[in-house]
Amino acid sequence: MALNKNPKADLKRKYQRYWEISLILSLTLIIVAFKFFPEFKQEVLEIDAPQELIMTEDVEATKQETAPPPPPKPPIPIEAPTDDVLEDVAIEATDLDVDAVVAAPPPPPKVEEEESEPVFFVAVEQMPEPIGGIGAIQKKIVYPEIAKRAGVQGRVYVKAYVDEAGKVTKVELIRGIGAGCDEAAMEAVNSVMFSPGKQRGKPVKVQVTVPVLFKLQ
């Protein structure tokens, strides 16, 4: 005898209804959510970090130069055959005559010796001094007109070469101020006699530096 199933205990009988009710509730919730919450604000996350600068540098493409070819080898000279007949060369006799008189060779030319420049001492036991002092040189100074108009003043340093007699043989300018004052100072120093410099009691050649003052009154 077959057993009949009680309809109240059959669970599959209500599956279709439960599924429809669940679908309706789900769609209702989705519609309500889009209606009341249409937009979603997105938060922007800011990151504070030091910016790094990347420097780019253009590198030129290197060009490899090819080495030049070696120079060609010089041709080897080859003796060419010739039909020319060499003439006979007569060789004179080289007999030495012992009794022959041989003239003396001329004397060598005289070589003129160059005169060496005199040596002037830089420092000696007794240095030369202008006779009458520096004032004697200052009295011979002729102040140039161009220097007066330009207001040029200062000291001119002149190197004087004094010989054993106290005479100035040469003057040189060491430091000047221009405007014609340098030439005037050299001319004044060259026209003054000096007491000769002495080394071990003997007069010698000495070079001495003389300052000359140019000052407007």
Gap between the Cα atoms of 133 and 212, Å rounded: 12
Helix (H) or strand (E) holding 139: helix 134-139
- Of the candidates 128, 134, 121, the one whose C-alpha atom is nearest the C-alpha of residue 188 is 134
Which of 118, 128, 133 is closest to 199 using CA atoms? 128
Q: Count other Cβ atoms within 10 Å, centred on residue 198.
A: 16
pLDDT at 19 over 60: yes
Strand partners, 142: none
The separation between the first and the last C-alpha atoms of the chain, rounded to the nearest angstrom, is 163
For residue 11, pLDDT over 70 is answered with no
- CA 180, CA 149: separation in Å to the nearest integer? 12
Q: What is the mean pLDDT of residues 151-162?
A: 87
24 falls in which pLDDT band (50, 70, 90)? very high
Q: Where are the domains of the chain?
A: 129-214
Q: Tokens at residue 149, please?
A: 């108009």
Q: Is the pLDDT of residue 70 over 70?
A: yes
Closest CA to 141 of 165, 158, 166: 158
CATH class of this structure's domain 129-214: alpha beta
pLDDT at residue 40 tops 60: no
Between CA 162 and CA 141 the distance in angstroms is 20
The whole-angstrom separation of Cα 14 and Cα 8 is 10
Checking if the pLDDT of 85 tops 60, the result is no
Indicate if the alpha-carbon torsion angle 142, 145, 149, 152 is positive or negative.
negative
Backbone angles phi, psi at 188, to 5 degrees: -70, -40
pLDDT at 115: 62
- Contact predicate 122/184, CB 8 Å: no
pLDDT tens per residue, range 95-134: 666 666 667 777 777 766 666 677 888 888 888 888 888 8
Give percent of the chain above pLDDT 90.
1
Residue 146 has pLDDT above 80, yes or no: yes
